[in-house]
Amino acid sequence: MALASGFTPIGILGSLVSIGTLMAFVIVSIGVIFLRYQRPELERPFKAPWVPFIPALSALVSLGLMAGLPWSTWERLIVWMAIGIVLYFSYGYTHSEVRKRDAVMPAAGGTSRR
């Protein structure tokens, strides 16, 4: 990142930081709503007020701010997100303890669980 930032104009870096931060806010806001309804039993060290209104409003405002950024910034976001998703899932697949355990542990009947 330091090498890339050394050769990238500051305006482009500013736009990338802005859209990346806003995308993180959107993902977290949607995650708050999702977890509140899908996993209500989870312990929460703090409570978000007025769920789902405040998280939904946060996601919408962040998306609205993102919409004001130029298309070239969106293209860069899409490319970086695609690279990140590929790295995330490929690393997760190759280092998954559950997958390794399931491949080694025989199921009833002598076959591997999948």
CA distance 55 to 7: 37
Token pair recorded at residue 34: 């999702």
State the alpha helices, DSSP H only, in 40-106. Answer: 53-67, 71-94, 97-104
Ramachandran sector of residue 110 (left: φ over 0; alpha: ψ -120 to 50; beta: rest)? left
Residues 8-34: tens digit of each pLDDT: 899 999 999 999 999 999 999 999 999
Q: Which helix (H) or strand (E) holds 11?
A: helix 10-38
Per-residue confidence (pLDDT) for residue 82, from 0 to 100: 97
Per-residue confidence (pLDDT) for residue 111, from 0 to 100: 55
Encode the chain (114 residues) as per-residue pLDDT tens digits: 788 788 889 999 999 999 999 999 999 999 999 999 999 898 888 888 899 999 999 999 999 999 999 999 999 999 999 999 999 999 999 988 888 888 887 654 555 555
CA distance 48 to 12: 33
Per-residue confidence (pLDDT) for residue 6, from 0 to 100: 87
